[in-house]
Amino acid sequence: MQQGEYYAPKPIAAGATVIVGSRVAGFLCTTPGTLTLTDSNGTVIVNLFPVVAGFNRIAVFFNYPQGNTVTSALAVGTLLL
Dihedral sign, Cα of residue 10, residue 77, residue 28, residue 51: negative
**pLDDT of amino acid 40:** 97
What letter does residue 14 receive in the DSSP assignment? T
- What does the radius of gyration of the chain's CA atoms come to, in whole angstroms? 12
pLDDT at 1: 57
> What string of pLDDT tens digits covers the 81 residues of the chain?
568 889 999 999 999 999 999 999 999 999 999 999 999 999 999 999 999 999 999 999 999 999 999 999 999 999 999
Max alpha carbon distance in the chain (Å)? 41
pTM of the model: 0.92
Amino acid (1-letter code) at residue 6: Y
